[in-house]
């Protein structure tokens, strides 16, 4: 520190102090403004907190509650990890209060691309997996983990058979899961009960020659059947495994792995035969809940360090029913990237700082859907479902049931309005991704209807109708309720509409059929009105139907 001594020094010192106060004032200005305007930016490590929300999200009188959050990291995160601990404390303290009985994690806990040799696998797993286990022990959370592909070294690790057994040995040794699984999967596949609930956790990776394949087969499948028979007296049965069985599912920043054989696999058919209620899985870092053959497959989990909308599931069990509810909340990242991620590009790594959004700290996580399963005399039944548990095909159409044209070589020619500030651009209407969308401008201007988009299909086609997928998130803004549809040979002269009509302003998939087929290369979808008579239009996907 510099001290003022003489007369001139005092004047210079005073000048420096004035400059210092000015700089401090400028630095504090954004925080003052944010406080005055109720901003939603996150708090960083060490900042004063304003948290008002306290877990659990609700006290519902259940006999017991549990939580599930697969793919928690997918990155090599230490314990403690500088810049992460405040956010992790908020989340895991919340999970203990939300589901005090136990927590499930269907794998992919670290990146784990430790491919150098067996010594490296043992050293790194002791450090990172051991820290992961210790983190939960310090919160007094009883954690049940299933192996994911990252517990075998990620996708490339599944091909390194010299290392796969070492990963498996380390997993069984470090996490010390129940040892009641099949002989070759001790500590990797296991089962346990909690009052009237049975949980069976499987390893969805089996040795197949020179690699590990995604299946539950052989001795493990026979063991699964025995466990299902053993727990036939339980009111509810949950199976936990890493990869989904039934597709399609939403996916982001994922290898999008699925179980071999899908619905026709012996694994799925075994669960159907024995009346499993729920299959909990991860891998895809998005939420997809669907019921097939009497089983609810719930894909969930997030990618902390990369994705900003993270999620978890809370289960509540009573004598005669079980409720499963999914929650989301926002997190924010800052700083550089965390090192020690071999075989990753410099930018393909987690961020150094993570913080919980102010909205989540004040209001808590937001429920995005809930399903209630009621105990039955012969079989259990779903008595209510909301949000993500309500499929878009209810009272609407399913794309797989429609005879649709290929969209190869399709190109958007024109749209009357675009929300460019958040990348909701017209090209998203033909990208096959229900997570993206085209939205008309709404930030600076709010142009009213009509809105339109024109698409070049690349060649002349015989068209019998069209299908429109509205936005698939938590909003109905822009869901089109009145439309006109045009087909023509040039984009400048499309003539009269070949179809006009109205849709319900919800998120169900919409389909329309023409009175007779029409030939053309260009299509135009025109919105005349939208949900709530708001001025916006929004389209997630647009398809044409074969005659």
Task: Please answer whether residues 118 and 162 qualify as being in contact, where contact means their C-beta atoms are separated by less than 8 angstroms.
Answer: yes
Higher pLDDT, 142 or 395: 142
Q: Kindly tell me if the per-residue pLDDT of 537 is higher than 60.
A: yes
* pLDDT at position 444: 84
Task: Please answer whether residues 89 and 398 qualify as being in contact, where contact means their C-beta atoms are separated by less than 8 angstroms.
Answer: no
Task: Please answer whether residues 351 and 81 qualify as being in contact, where contact means their C-beta atoms are separated by less than 8 angstroms.
Answer: no
Rounded Cα distance between 90 and 204, Å, is 31
In whole angstroms, what separates CA 475 from the centre of its chain?
17
What is residue 313's three-state secondary structure? strand
Helix (H) or strand (E) holding 414: strand 411-415
* pLDDT at position 213: 97
Percent of the chain with pLDDT over 70: 89
Across 391-409, average pLDDT:
69
Rounded Cα distance between 319 and 94, Å, is 25
DSSP letters of 474-521?
S--TT-EEEEEEEEESSSS---S-SEEEE--SSSS-EEEEEEEEEEEE
Among the residue ranges 136-145, 339-348, 397-406, 520-529, the one predicted with the least confidence is 397-406
Across 526-531, average pLDDT:
96
Q: Kindly tell me if the per-residue pLDDT of 415 is higher than 90.
A: yes
How many CA atoms, within 13 angstroms, populate the side-chain half-sphere of residue 343? 13
Rank 6-10, 186-190, 444-448, 466-470 by mean pLDDT and report only the highest: 186-190
Q: Kindly tell me if the per-residue pLDDT of 42 is higher than 70.
A: no
- With CA atoms as reference, report the closest residue to 100 among 68, 64, 136, 134: 64
Q: What is each CA distance from 59 to 98, 99, 218, 264, in whole angstroms?
A: 9, 11, 43, 40
* pLDDT at position 51: 53
How many C-beta neighbours within 10 Å does residue 49 have? 12
Residues 6+ apart with CB under 8 A from 122: 166, 170
Write out pLDDT tens, residues 283-339.
999 999 999 899 999 999 989 999 999 999 999 999 999 999 999 999 999 999 999
Angle at the Cα of 315 from the Cα atoms of 313 and 320, rounded to 5 degrees: 155
- With CA atoms as reference, report the closest residue to 430 among 541, 546, 544, 523: 541
Across 505-518, average pLDDT:
89
Among the residue ranges 299-313, 389-403, 507-521, the one predicted with the least confidence is 389-403
DSSP state of 289: E
Q: How many residues does the chain have?
A: 547
Place of tokens 């039955």: 376
Q: Which CATH architecture has domain 64-305?
A: 4-Layer Sandwich (3.60)
The two structure tokens encoding residue 382: 């779903």
- With CA atoms as reference, report the closest residue to 327 among 53, 41, 45: 53
Q: Is the dihedral of CA 297, 303, 304, 310 positive or negative?
A: negative
Higher pLDDT, 400 or 497: 497
Across 494-523, average pLDDT:
92
Write out pLDDT tens, residues 170-205.
999 999 999 999 999 999 999 999 999 999 999 999
What distance, in Å, lies between the first and last C-alpha atoms of the chain? 82
Write out pLDDT tens, residues 56-109.
998 889 999 999 999 999 999 999 999 999 999 999 999 999 999 999 999 999
Rounded Cα distance between 398 and 392, Å, is 8
DSSP state of 397: -
Rounded Cα distance between 483 and 499, Å, is 8
What is residue 541's three-state secondary structure? strand
Domain boundaries defined on the chain: 64-305, 399-545
Rounded Cα distance between 542 and 202, Å, is 39
Task: Please answer whether residues 161 and 210 qualify as being in contact, where contact means their C-beta atoms are separated by less than 8 angstroms.
Answer: yes
For residue 450, cis peptide bond before it (omega within 30 degrees of 0): yes
Task: Please answer whether residues 116 and 158 qualify as being in contact, where contact means their C-beta atoms are separated by less than 8 angstroms.
Answer: no
Task: Please answer whether residues 511 and 403 qualify as being in contact, where contact means their C-beta atoms are separated by less than 8 angstroms.
Answer: no
- With CA atoms as reference, report the closest residue to 234 among 178, 194, 272, 268: 194
Q: Kindly tell me if the per-residue pLDDT of 8 is higher than 60.
A: no
CATH 3.40.50.150 fits 399-545, yes or no: no
Strand 197-201 vs strand 236-240: parallel, antiparallel, or unpaired?
Answer: parallel
Bridge partners (DSSP) of residue 518 are 463
Please, which pLDDT band fits residue 14 given cuts at 50, 70 and 90? very low
Rounded Cα distance between 418 and 425, Å, is 6
Rg, Å, the chain Cα set:
27
Please, which pLDDT band fits residue 34 given cuts at 50, 70 and 90? very low
* pLDDT at position 422: 87
- With CA atoms as reference, report the closest residue to 334 among 41, 58, 40: 41
Among the residue ranges 44-53, 113-122, 507-516, the one predicted with the least confidence is 44-53
């Amino acid at each position: 520190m510099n001290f003022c001594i003489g007369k001139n020094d005092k004047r210079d010192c005073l000048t420096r102090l004035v400059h210092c106060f000015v700089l401090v004032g400028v630095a504090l200005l954004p925080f003052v403004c944010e406080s005055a305007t109720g901003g939603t930016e996150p708090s960083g490590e060490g900042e004063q907190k304003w948290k008002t929300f306290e877990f659990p999200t609700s006290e519902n009188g259940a006999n017991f509650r549990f939580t599930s959050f697969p793919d928690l990291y997918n990155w090599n995160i230490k314990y403690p990890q500088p810049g992460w601990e405040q956010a992790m404390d908020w989340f895991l303290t919340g999970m203990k209060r939300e589901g005090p009985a136990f927590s499930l994690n269907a794998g992919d806990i670290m990146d784990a691309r430790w491919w150098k040799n067996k010594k490296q696998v043992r050293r790194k797993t002791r450090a990172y997996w051991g820290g992961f286990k210790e983190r939960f022990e310090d919160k007094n959370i009883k954690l049940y983990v299933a192996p994911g592909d990252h517990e075998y070294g990620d996708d490339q690790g599944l091909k390194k058979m010299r290392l796969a057994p070492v990963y498996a040995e380390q997993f069984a040794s470090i996490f010390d899961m129940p040892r009641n699984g099949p002989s070759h999967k001790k500590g990797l596949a296991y089962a346990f009960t909690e009052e009237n609930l049975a949980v069976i956790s499987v390893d969805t990776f089996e040795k197949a020659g020179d690699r590990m394949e995604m299946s539950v087969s052989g001795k493990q499948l026979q063991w699964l059947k025995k466990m299902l028979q053993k727990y036939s007296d339980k009111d509810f049965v949950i199976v936990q495994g890493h990869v989904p069985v039934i597709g399609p599912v939403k996916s982001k920043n994922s290898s999008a792995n699925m179980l071999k054989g899908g619905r026709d696999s012996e694994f799925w058919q075994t669960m159907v035969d024995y009346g499993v209620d729920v299959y909990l899985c991860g891998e895809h870092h998005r939420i997809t809940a669907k019921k097939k053959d009497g089983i609810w497959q719930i894909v969930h989990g997030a990618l902390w360090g990369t994705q900003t909308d993270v999620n978890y599931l809370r289960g509540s069990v009573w004598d005669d029913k079980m409720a499963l509810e999914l929650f989301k909340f926002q997190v924010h990242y800052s700083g550089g990237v965390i090192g020690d991620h071999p075989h990753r590009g410099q930018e393909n790594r987690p961020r150094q700082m993570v913080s919980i959004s102010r909205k989540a700290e004040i209001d808590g996580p937001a429920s995005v859907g809930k399903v209630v399963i009621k105990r039955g005399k012969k079989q259990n039944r779903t008595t209510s479902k909301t949000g993500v548990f309500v499929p878009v095909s209810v009272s609407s159409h399913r794309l797989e049931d429609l005879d649709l044209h290929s969209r190869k070589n399709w190109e958007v020619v024109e749209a009357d309005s675009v929300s460019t500030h958040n990348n909701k651009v017209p090209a998203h209407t033909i990208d096959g991704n229900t997570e993206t969308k085209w939205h008309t401008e709404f930030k600076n201007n709010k142009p009213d209807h009509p809105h339109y988009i024109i698409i070049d299909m690349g060649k002349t086609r015989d068209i019998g109708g069209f299908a429109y997928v509205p936005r698939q998130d938590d909003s109905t803004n822009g869901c089109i309720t009145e439309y006109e549809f045009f087909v023509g040979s040039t984009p400048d002269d499309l003539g009269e509409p070949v179809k006009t009509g109205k849709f319900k302003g919800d998120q169900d998939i919409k389909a329309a059929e023409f009175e007779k087929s029409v030939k053309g290369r260009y299509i135009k979808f025109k919105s005349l009105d939208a949900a709530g008579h708001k001025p916006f239009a929004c389209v997630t996907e647009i398809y044409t139907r074969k005659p």
